[in-house]
Structure 1
Amino acid sequence: MSGRQGGKLKPLKAPKKGPAAELDDDDKAALERRKADALEMKAAKEKAAKGGPPGGGIKKSSGKK
């Protein structure tokens, strides 16, 4: 006989959360730097999405003159 014979499996228990970790000055500075970088990247992506050729790119002609 096997150990488990069908049926719904129980979900794994999540580890208990311990007390909040104390952040020192270096950790705080790193978090602020990451947040600033993320904001800059978001702004750059928005600016790039707005851009593009003003005429809509190369237009395909029908070949008739």
Structure 2
Amino acid sequence: MSGRQGGKLKPLKQAKKKPKELDEDDLAFQKKQREEAAAKKAAIEKLKGKK
């Protein structure tokens, strides 16, 4: 056998993603998402604590 015959091949390297520029609407939406997730987590913890 010569070289790499059979077996898995290594995947090709992906190009690095460029960070996308966010405007105020995107930042506000992300902040709202984080706040809702934190409130949901707090509510779940509160329910677990009562039992």
- The TM-score normalised by the length of structure 1 is 0.59
Unaligned runs of 5+ in 1: 53-65
Q: Which residue of 2 aligns with 1:44?
A: 43
1:27 to 2:37 alignment: no
Aligned residues: 48
The structure that is helix-richer by fraction is 2
Unaligned runs of 5+ in 2: none
Structure number, greater radius of gyration: 1
Counterpart CA distance in 2 for 1:16 and 1:27 is 22
Q: What is the CA distance between 1:38 and its match in structure 2? A: 0.7
Q: Which residue of 2 aligns with 1:10?
A: 10
- Deviation by residue 1:6-49 (Cα, 9 ceiling, x = unmatched): 1232124223222x222111111101100100110110111111
